[in-house]
A and B are shown apart, each in its own frame.
Chain A
């Protein structure tokens, strides 16, 4: 891989772009740089935000400049091999039945797959958490098998519930709060993905891997009740 591009995002942020596609080696490069920046942040850096293919570094423009930061990042990248921390693997329970699989019919039509076939592929895939975005804790996943790729819905839904398991384009997603979406909802997890009053706010970290385990509606309900019990 050739070196990244250093792109100003206004006067207070720098996007370090490793590529413009979804690919494991790009995510690893982003993750390694993110890790290095967080471990030893240059003066004036406020936070770094990883995406599939780039790391955006926000800074105080009175304490840091693009030029400074670019030099700093180049130095970091030149230092031997950047290590990627090994993430956790999560088994996330999902109910793929109605009413949780809101778009069962539409997804079948859009993908040309029988729904059973589609969810079998979905359960056997290993996904990587590439980034959080759109809403707090909303986890964007890489690793969606090609057969499951579909164009987004032409008409977005005004609101889908938290925990929705979604597919849009070549991406998969777990929603964390109720939100509007143009993606297909193929199931729902009873797991609470984001809670601002807990530490950590989400069990997941970028770089963690996920596989989905099917549960039925009764198991979904009892898992939800157990959580509400406050254990």
Chain B
């Protein structure tokens, strides 16, 4: 297969599971911004979670099949069209040579994913093709006119399908708040500051990229110094530098940091944060603290919800307009409704 990228944003990149096991050498883990959407788009085309997908920034992509292409798309709340006709943005289909596909996330700051059966061919470095722009690892860097190719050795046998229930994992989360596990340095910030942080005082600024999401709101107060001897960082760690403006560290994060860390977002809530709106249209972010056991329970329920969503494909077609229709048609079973 060959897929030509006619128009693509500057923040688009190939991403796989990321550069695991190299953080000890200061190498960023990278990987997708929204692990749930990236994993889903791979699953619906029959891939394992590990193979490279195309991650798209706000500008989305306009592309054209040069040969037959078995494609999957996943853009929670986003849009997808084939030759100008809407398709549900979590779908798989066969593009014939000459077919044109557009795909975009819906929100300022969201991310959309495109996969092909077998995965895209990229330049693996340190065991991953994940592109880390600043370190110059993986890739290649993509620009308009480039062609992507598949690693597939066989032609998949699946039929086209849409997965309208997938979006409910974002829109009907069991609790709309984002959950954080406090620490390691929450005790360096005032209790008032932490309460304000949880109670919706912060929104995503426009300074959000693959490295981190910078929040806007009243500066948080440190009890004393705002410097620590550097220690480890994870995806979703909320770091509070001297200016008091929290930064949530994302996929292309550094491996260690020298500012107090308030806490770290739980894995189950990272996809919702990654797809949140930035800038002027951003809504207040509400956070709640949680213990590790409950975080894991939420992750397991999210995986269960994903299984349910992917077990109910529909014939490929335009986006189902509202959740009401899904409910009326009884497509949401008890598990999902509870979710």
**What residues make up the interface of A, taking CB atoms closer than 8 Å to B?**
7-13, 15, 17, 20-22, 34, 46-56, 58, 61-62, 65-67, 131-138, 140, 176-177, 179, 194, 196-197, 201-202, 206
Contact = CB atoms under 8 A, between A and B. Distances in A.
B299 A137 contact: no
A71 to B, nearest CB: 14
Give the top 5 A-B pairs by smallest Cβ distance, nearest first: A56-B232, A10-B264, A132-B26, A7-B184, A11-B295
Nearest to B303: A62
Contacts of B233: 9, 56
A10 B236 contact: yes
Interface residues of B, number: 43
Contact of B23 (A49, A54, A67): A49
A66 B254 CA distance: 23
A49 B24 contact: yes
B21 A46 contact: yes
B231 A8 contact: no
Contacts of B22: 47, 136, 201
Contact of B292 (A11, A51, A135): A11
A12 B25 contact: no
A15 B232 contact: yes
Interface of B: 20-28, 125-126, 134-137, 181, 183-184, 228-237, 254-256, 261, 263-267, 292-293, 295-296, 299-300
Given A8-B184, A62-B299, 10 more contacts: A10-B234, A10-B237, A17-B184, A20-B228, A56-B231, A133-B26, A136-B27, A196-B27, A201-B22, A201-B126
A47 B21 contact: yes
Most chain-B CB neighbours within 10 Å: which of A9, A11, A134, A140?
Answer: A11
B181 A8 contact: yes
Contacts of A52: 229-231
Contacts, number: 146
Nearest to B263: A10
Contacts of B232: 9, 13, 15, 49, 51, 54-56
Contacts of A11: 181, 264, 266-267, 292, 295-296, 299
A201 B254 CA distance: 18
A61 B295 contact: yes
B26 A138 contact: yes
Given A9-B183, A56-B231, A136-B135, A51 B256 contact: yes
Most chain-A CB neighbours within 10 Å: which of B25, B136, B292?
Answer: B25
Given A22-B229, A131-B256, A136 B21 contact: no
Given A8-B183, A177-B136, A197-B125, A202 B20 contact: no
Contacts of A21: 229
Most chain-B CB neighbours within 10 Å: which of A9, A10, A140, A177?
Answer: A10
Nearest to A199: B126
27 contacts: A8-B181, A9-B184, A10-B181, A10-B235, A10-B237, A11-B264, A11-B266, A15-B184, A15-B232, A20-B228, A21-B229, A47-B20, A47-B21, A48-B24, A49-B24, A52-B230, A53-B229, A54-B232, A58-B23, A62-B299, A67-B292, A132-B255, A133-B256, A135-B26, A179-B134, A194-B25, A196-B27
Contacts of B28: 136
Nearest to B184: A7
Contacts of B230: 51-52, 131, 133, 140
A200 B137 CA distance: 16
B84 to A, nearest CB: 42
A137 B266 CA distance: 29
B296 A65 contact: yes
Contact of B300 (A48, A62, A196): A62
Contacts of A46: 20-21
Contacts of A53: 229, 231
Nearest to B236: A10
A62 to B, nearest CB: 7
Contact of A134 (B256, B266, B267): B256
Nearest to A50: B24
A212 B300 CA distance: 52
A11 B235 CA distance: 10
A132 B24 contact: yes
A227 B24 CA distance: 26
A49 B255 contact: yes
A186 B26 CA distance: 22
Contacts of A134: 26, 254-256
A51 B231 contact: yes
Contacts of B26: 131-138, 176
Contacts of A65: 292-293, 296
